[in-house]
Amino acid sequence: MRHPDLSVSLTPGTPASRLAALLVLAAGLAVAAGALVLPTLTLLDTLSAERQRAEARLEASKRLLERRPALQQALEARDAAPSPDFLRGDTPALAGAALQARVGELAKAHGVRLDSTQVLEEREEDGFRRIAVGVRLGADTPALRALFHAIETGRPRLLLDAVSVRAAGSGAVPLEVGFTVYGYQEGVE
């Protein structure tokens, strides 16, 4: 079977050739417009989304800026509050008395016989004041271990030094113990 010839011959200057030229021109313009409009629309969508994200960040920044005075006040209050890691007291003597009282409380809580405590001379170390107390006591091994643990793991932070342990000659407690406990006070000027 033979196919019909679909070719058309256009003669220049005829209305059919002008219509064909206009159609080809319109198709070319449509392709060119599509090539320009689609990327432009995509770019506009991207810019719109970026603008929305920027506005959201701006609003978050404004909310944070509104909270700034309260945050600043909380920060200043935290900085002004004394650290629980340091001994408290307006003077070294008061800090020493507080340390003596703390050792007495811990000894009592752990069933240790406290024989004596003596505040030792304070000294400056790296911008802090070292407050020390000499301690003499009697205890059995489990109570002594519990007392030492409580001293070194509690707050304010305290450290043991110059520990001497010897067997008691007689009496209810098997050990006679001497040591120095010390902590630090802030604000050496």
**For the domain bounded by 92-185, which CATH number is listed?**
3.30.70.60
Q: Which residue has the higher pLDDT, 75 or 107?
A: 107
Asked if pLDDT for residue 36 goes beyond 80, the answer is no
Counting every residue written for the chain, the total comes to 189
**Count of C-beta atoms within a 10 Å radius of residue 112:** 23
| pLDDT attached to residue 10 | 65
| pLDDT attached to residue 2 | 65
Look up residue 155 and give its two tokens: 């707050």
pLDDT class of 158 with cuts at 50, 70, 90: very high
Q: Which residue has the higher pLDDT, 102 or 170?
A: 102
Q: b vs e for 60-92, b when ≥16 Cβ sit within 10 Å of the residue's Cβ?
A: eeeeeeeeeeeeeeeeeeeeeeeeeebbebeeb
Cα(155)–Cα(87) distance, integer angstroms: 9
Q: What average pLDDT score do residues 66-84 get?
A: 75
| pLDDT attached to residue 102 | 92
Q: What average pLDDT score do residues 162-175 get?
A: 81
| pLDDT attached to residue 9 | 67
* Phi-psi domain of 139 (left: phi exceeds 0; alpha: psi -120 through 50; beta: other): beta
Asked if pLDDT for residue 41 goes beyond 90, the answer is no
Cα(56)–Cα(65) distance, integer angstroms: 14
pLDDT class of 108 with cuts at 50, 70, 90: very high
Q: Look up the pTM and report it.
A: 0.56
